A and B are shown apart, each in its own frame.
Chain A
Amino acid sequence: MSDGSTPMAPAPGCTEDRPVLKERGQREVFCGLTGIVWLHRKIQDAFFLVVGSRTCAHLLQSAAGVMIFAEPRFATAIIGERDLAGMADANEELDRCVRQLLERRPDIKLLFLVGSCPSEVIKLDLSRAAERLNVEYSPKVRVLNYSGSGIETTFTQGEDACLTAMVPTLPDAAPGAAPSLLVVGTLADVVEDQITRIADKAGLGPIRFFPPRNSQDLPPVGPNTRFIMAQPFLTDTAKALTDRGAVQVNAPFPLGVEGTTLWLKAAAEALDLPGSHVDVATAANRDRANRALDRYRPELEGKRIFFFPDSQLEIPLARFLNREMGMELVEVGTPYLNRTIHGPDLALLPADAMLSEGQHVEKQLDRCVAARPDITVCGLGLANPLEAQGLTTKWSIELVFTPIQGFEQAGDLAELFARPLNRKTRLVA
């Protein structure tokens, strides 16, 4: 197949002169709609209405339906043949669905119209639909739109698209205010609270988080805003915030002790505070986290790990597992590599680490099976088939659905990788 692969081509613009294998072919990844599964829990008064096909509804149901028994805060307006044949005005149909929805869920304050592959291909203009519906439902409900289609977004990029759509709605920060810190990217509530406590102790506060837990509580943004990303998949959000005048702070991602320390120091320095403030304020946390990591190091040290592309978390995870847990990197695959955002983590990877961007899943499987890594990080479509071939896997989606950032979660993060190996040793035959 002409997959356009460029084996080990030097990556232009990389922070280092580091080769990256770029591949094209079948990609075994989720589309951006999947982001709804966690975003609808993070922003509690928001509702996500996908405009798409039965496939889109089926995806959300399969990805989330296992866990969700109550009526969820997402739904699909399924495009029918009448909409395609022009027998029904798709815009009127959409308005009718939104009316029906808002009557059923009067508690909604923020409605996202989420584009899909079918809606993008037939060029249904959801941004105009959002404008139109805003006129009708403002100020009770704000209507925004973004695309979570597979043709444009991969898995966590759906969150990027969602947050990018929210950026223009953020209030302006007061001019001349002191520099303030904004943490960008969905984090577990408990992680946000820990970061807040450390920030208070180290004098970084007050800090704000984006996305907020409630759509009525939007953080202000302006030229005095310093923003630091807590998640690596927010390329467009970063650009949108920069366009509002905010200043981006680059750092390794807050995974593990080293990552969290460097992340906090970068935040401090952006606020013109010495990094030593962070050292002092977090000494106990770091010590504790190191103790937690010690528990899992014997299980992970020297083990060889292979990452299939999934969430863009692969590079910072590989950095943590390599530097703090002593794991050997066989291949680190990422769906998309942003050299600015991933730069600080890339710089900490061993020089010979094999990186790949994009995917030709059959060739990548061939490489993986030939290398026989001790543990393979991959999606649920590949995990059991690889286990059946005798490989040990760690399913990657869990890394998006588990609190893993910060000092107190460092041990938990290591445990996620130790657990499948531990399990292998427990099961007889």
Chain B
Amino acid sequence: MELTVWTYEGPPHVGAMRVATAMHDVHYVLHAPQGDTYADLLFTMIERLKKRPPVTYTTFQARDLGGDTAVLFKDAAQDAYARFKPQAMLVGASCTAELIQDDPGGLAEAIGLDIPVVPLELPSYQKKENWGASETFYQMVRGLAGAHAPAPGTERPPRPADRPARVNLLGPTALGFRHRDDVVEIKRLLGEMGIEVAVTAPLDAHARDIARLGEADFNIVLYPEIGLTAAKWLERTFAQPYVQTVPIGVGATKDFVREVAALAGIDPEPVLAANESRLPWYSASVDSNYLTAKRVFIFGDGTHALAAARVARDEMGFDVVGLGTYSRERAKDVRAMAKELGLEALITDDYLAVEKAIEDSAPELILGTQMERHIAKRHGIGCAVISAPVHVQDFPARYSPQMGFEGANVLFDTFVHPLVMGLEEHLLGMFREDFEFNDDAMPSHLATAGEGEIRVQPQPSAPNGAAATNGSAVEPAADATGEAGTHWDDSALQELKKIPFFVRGKVRRNTEKFAADNGVATITVETLYDAKAHFGR
């Protein structure tokens, strides 16, 4: 057993859901207990999708365990087929269903559906979400494209000279960190290079698109955690080479353009000359001087951590003081990069180990996941999110790629924003006792004075559960005398404190206005609620 406060990845069947939900006419029948439908709201709430994920759950209960859960599964699969009429079906088990061993693959085969059915074996007690997505995508590619494979050893016929190069984009999924806009940005870049995108998958692909993956000249793996296994299989089966340079950051994007151009047999220089990120100039301008050697700690999935390390060192002039990933599949690459930076890579999915490493390296900026935001907030360190897991605010409405030249612009703004701005930093160094602007306060371009309390919150792990000593610092001392000479009695003041802080000020003002309007001299609990009833929320 493993004590877990926060987990970086969900179980592997969530990865499978990300693949199914990304696609158009694929349905996933998941053998799972009642309650596992919580995963739907990852898609409907965090990613704000307008549709329900294409997943039918068996949602068995304890009373079903005494009966035939296999029949339950078969019925659910048949029902889903009849209702949703998918072009391909994924079938599999969640962690609990794995224990009861009903064999969804075998059961689905026994039904004899007239569409391809891809059985998923996702070992829930060993593997995690990204592996689940990668395995699901790979199995689907094998299942649907495999039928079109040439005989082993067949040479790939050369591309006709008059046809532009055609590529597949592999890896973007539902619930992927900025996948939506990365795809747009990379397609735009490829378009400028005169390269056609045959299929993007799994995001927005149909089952029939997967079947024709072999037709492209080569593949581009945007997210190796999800697309690399399938790309390797396509290379073996269809002799399609693949590009694995992930175009995050200016340098990486240039490398990517050159690598793609080489495979397409074109000259990269016109495209490189026509595109310029603003990051290099912004970073070179004197305002960025103070960014030099800022200590930064980087953690995330392998792809984003590696890319951020290169940008931080080569393009922002930071000192990388910590580098790690929870993607064990990428451990080798991350270790190599860490060595280059003179560091030892942190390969872990233990949130507490990451917290310890951050404490030990005392960075000025953390580039991480949603979980590192928790740590950063507790320690009062600036933080920017560079990788999943993320929450709803990192599925923004605005165009926000990480990849390509526009992605680099986004990265510059994102990395710099949490830092104290240059002038403020100087003034803090000169005048240390200012009552508003001090070390304990958040940078003044970010927060109101009240949020300063965050920086000195004691650790919950402190012995004896030392209580937060400054929680009330947010509130000005409770003042019994309001505007217009109204007076609050003690019980009413106590009651007022029970109102959530973000509406308390409004309630206070309303109550005092109500008292003044009605000639009430002393505000009691009754007055408070009279006013509440009068004004509503």
Chain A contacts to B: CB under 8 angstroms: 1-2, 25-34, 51, 53-55, 57-59, 61-63, 65-66, 69-72, 75-81, 83-84, 88, 90, 93-94, 96-97, 100-101, 104-107, 117-118, 120-122, 149-152, 154, 189-190, 193, 197, 284-285, 288-289, 291-292, 295-296, 362, 379-385, 387-388, 408, 411-412, 415
Contact = CB atoms under 8 A, between A and B. Distances in A.
Interface string B493-507: 001001100000000
9 contacts: A28-B37, A58-B7, A62-B42, A69-B374, A70-B378, A76-B4, A149-B62, A381-B41, A415-B536
Given A94-B1, A150-B35, A292-B532, A189 B96 contact: no
B33 A65 contact: no
A79 B39 CA distance: 20
B79 A1 contact: yes
Nearest to A197: B525
B2 A78 contact: yes
A416 B84 CA distance: 34
Interface in B376-410: 377-378, 391-392
Contacts of B59: 25-27, 150
Given A29-B37, A55-B11, A150-B35, 6 more contacts: A26-B76, A57-B4, A63-B38, A78-B7, A105-B465, A190-B498
Contact of B370 (A65, A149, A295): A65
A55 B36 contact: yes
Contacts of B432: none
A283 B94 CA distance: 55
Given A53-B125, A75-B5, A59 B99 contact: no
Interface string B44-80: 1110111110001111111011000000000110110
Interface in B6-54: 6-7, 9-11, 13-14, 33-42, 44-46, 48-52
B154 interface: no
Contacts, number: 233
A154 B94 contact: no
B280 interface: no
Contacts of A101: 3
A41 B42 CA distance: 24
Interface of B: 1-7, 9-11, 13-14, 33-42, 44-46, 48-52, 56-62, 64-65, 75-76, 78-79, 83, 94-96, 99-100, 123-126, 128, 370, 373-374, 377-378, 391-392, 457, 460-461, 463-465, 495, 498-499, 525-526, 529-530, 532-534, 536-537
B78 to A, nearest CB: 7
Contact of B533 (A25, A29, A117, A289): A289
Contact of B52 (A33, A53, A150, A381): A381
A388 B50 contact: yes
A54 B1 contact: no
A362 B37 CA distance: 13
Of B13, B59, B76, B495, most A-chain CB atoms within 10 Å = B59
A382 B460 CA distance: 36
A420 to B, nearest CB: 14
A151 B95 contact: no
Contacts of A284: 526
Contacts of A106: 463-465
Contacts of B60: 151
Nearest to A74: B5
A5 to B, nearest CB: 13
Contacts of A100: 3
Nearest to B64: A151
A61 B35 contact: no
Contacts of A120: 62
A55 B95 contact: yes
B265 to A, nearest CB: 45
Given A29-B37, A107-B464, A408-B532, A362 B83 contact: yes
Contacts of A81: 123, 125-126
Nearest to B494: A193
Contact of A193 (B1, B56, B498): B498
Contacts of A59: 35-36, 38
B536 A292 contact: yes
B34 A154 contact: yes
A292 B39 CA distance: 38
Given A28-B40, A62-B38, A411-B533, A385 B50 contact: yes
B458 to A, nearest CB: 10
Nearest to B351: A71
Nearest 5 CB-CB pairings of A with B: A107-B465, A31-B35, A150-B35, A381-B40, A388-B50
Contacts of A94: 1
Nearest to A295: B536
B17 to A, nearest CB: 12
A72 B371 CA distance: 13
A55 to B, nearest CB: 5
Given A81-B125, A121-B99, A149 B33 contact: yes
A152 B392 contact: no
Contacts of B495: 190, 193
A53 B38 contact: no
A84 B61 contact: no
Contact of A70 (B83, B457, B526, B537): B457
Contacts of A71: 5, 374, 378, 460-461
A377 B78 CA distance: 29
A378 to B, nearest CB: 11
Contacts of B123: 81
Given A55-B95, A121-B100, A408-B532, A105 B36 contact: no
A151 B392 contact: no
A78 to B, nearest CB: 5
Of B3, B60, B461, most A-chain CB atoms within 10 Å = B3
A151 B33 contact: yes
A69 B1 contact: no
Nearest to A188: B498
Given A55-B95, A66-B392, A79 B125 contact: yes
A75 B61 contact: no
A54 B533 contact: no
B1 A96 contact: yes
B98 to A, nearest CB: 9
B533 A77 contact: no
Nearest to A415: B537
Contacts of B529: 285, 288, 408
A77 B44 contact: no
B33 A117 contact: yes
A62 B7 contact: no
Contact of B35 (A33, A90, A93): A33
B76 A1 contact: yes
A413 to B, nearest CB: 11
A423 to B, nearest CB: 13
A75 B50 contact: no
Given A1-B75, A75-B5, A383-B44, A411 B532 contact: yes
A83 B62 CA distance: 22
Given A62-B42, A193-B498, A69 B11 contact: no
Contacts of A291: 533-534
B37 A105 contact: no
A383 B49 CA distance: 10
A334 to B, nearest CB: 15
B99 to A, nearest CB: 5
Given A55-B124, A193-B498, A30 B35 contact: yes
Nearest to A84: B125
Given A121-B99, A362-B83, A385 B44 contact: yes
Contacts of B46: 62
A55 B10 contact: yes
Contact of B44 (A26, A75, A79, A384): A384
